[in-house]
Amino acid sequence: MVRAQVPPLRSLPIPTPRPRAAAAALAALVLLATGCAIPGDSGTDEEPQADTTASDQTTASSPGPTGAAEDATGPTPGGAPDFSDPTDVATDLEAPWSIAFHGRTALVSERDSGRVIALDDSGQTREVTTIDEVAPRGEGGLLGLAVHDDHLYAYYTTASDNRVVRFPLTGSPGDLGVGAPETVLDGIPAAGNHNGGRIAFGPDDMLYVTTGDAGDGSSAQDQDSPAGKILRVTPDGGVPDDNPFADSPVFSLGHRNPQGLDWTDDGTLYASEFGQDTWDELNVIEPGGNYGWPDVEGIGGDDEFIDPVQQWDPADASPSGLAVVGDSVVIANLRGERVWEVPVDDPEQSTDHLAGDHGRLRAVTEAPDGSLWILTNNTDGRGDPAEGDDRILRVPVE
């Protein structure tokens, strides 16, 4: 097996905690980015990939410069996913994007319809709500979901922006509904592509939000813009005292289109990110870290930026959602039509599974029973849907 020499992570100092930012300061930051222009990098991240390689192939990371520096759930100790025979949990979904669990009830977002649906034990669906504000276009629409303290959080595209809104969950399993919405974050730049959209609660009970650059690469390096970032806010949208930048929801910057988030048991945050033409990335996120876009794509060896711990050719990846399961980071990939599995203790290595078997893969989520649920994404106009698509696949973890 060939090993690429992936540079070690450069540690950034964790900034001294700052005073709590006022709500007005948070609103000012997000409003600065409203109406963001969309120059040069206008290509889509999610184009279908016709050719795939054999499944379960172990590879080293792509060569690069050497010598350079939902409520969170932890991994199942010692557990490993068995990808040999995935089974259907649900079928005939319409452009699904995200899965979140309320207790043992799965909630699924449909990007284009704006619907949130619940699954019963037999895989039958029931509409929980339709978010009328959703204005789908391109890669935008109803994207990420998370559940926290009996509230459903949703990231979605409107006619003017991307935003995060929460709804109190009402009723009981089999009869779930939602109450009146409350805006948590708004003014996040929206476009036909690069909308980010993954949301998750960390082990610190804070809400983490991935945002894309909305086609304006320079915004990723602009600390005053919420675009091209990972944001960290309290459950009601306030700025935590210990965020790395004073009065700002920005947790990390220099991102193009991050769409996967999850944590290991020791609190390490992993994020997957679409590159442009050269490298897709798996990053370990540090508070205040700068991940280089648009100045660097993939491993750059520049001390000003943090290099990814793993990278892939976009034809083999286009990573979206991820989950930490057992001792691995498991990533769903769209263009590459496969799952990449990266060992936490040796992230230079990666193994692909299910290559070409189920088409485009959008999300991967750990279910309450410890299994892995994988969401296909073939009905959004870019895939080649098979009978029964889209579907949720269940992979046991043993």
For residue 107, give the CATH number of its domain.
Answer: 2.120.10.30
Mean pLDDT computed over 273-278: 97
Average pLDDT over residues 140-146: 99
**Sign of the four-CA dihedral 301, 306, 310, 314:** negative
Task: State residue 79's pLDDT score.
Answer: 87
Residue 27 is assigned to a structural domain of this protein: no
Confidence tier at 27 by pLDDT (50, 70, 90): low
Asked if residue 103 belongs to a domain, the reply is yes
Q: What percent of the chain is modeled with pLDDT above 70?
A: 81
pLDDT above 90: residue 67: no
* Residue 152 confidence (pLDDT): 99
The answer on pLDDT for 194 being more than 70 is yes
Q: What stretches of 74-172 show up as alpha helix (H) in DSSP?
A: none
Does 247 reside within a domain?
A: yes
3-state SS assignment for residue 24: helix
Number of domains within the chain: 1
Phi, psi (deg, nearest 5) at residue 32: -60, -30
Residue 96 domain-assigned (yes or no)? yes
**Residue at 5 is within a domain:** no
pLDDT recorded at residue 156: 99
Place of tokens 């893969």: 361
- In this structure, is residue 342 part of a structural domain? yes
- Percent above pLDDT 90 for the chain: 79
Of 57-61, 210-214, 350-354, give the lowest mean pLDDT range: 57-61
pLDDT tier, 39 (very low <50, low <70, confident <90, very high otherwise): very low
Token pair for 265:
């048991």
Residue 12 has pLDDT above 90, yes or no: no
**Domain span holding position 199:** 71-395
Query: Per residue, what are the HEC states of 172-211?
Result: CCCCCEECCCEEEEEEECCCCCCCCCCEEECCCCCEEEEC
Q: Is residue 63 part of a domain?
A: no
Query: Mean pLDDT score of the chain, rounded to an integer?
Result: 87
| Angle at CA of residue 70, ends 312 and 18, nearest 5° | 90
Predicted pLDDT of residue 78: 56
Q: What are phi and psi of 43, to 5 degrees?
A: -70, 150
Within-domain flag for 55: no
* Mean local confidence (pLDDT), 271-299: 98
Identify the weakest region by mean pLDDT among 41-50, 146-155, 164-173, 285-294: 41-50
| Assigned token pair, 127 | 């509409």
Tokens of 310: 């793993």
Structure tokens that stand for 346 in this block: 């040796």
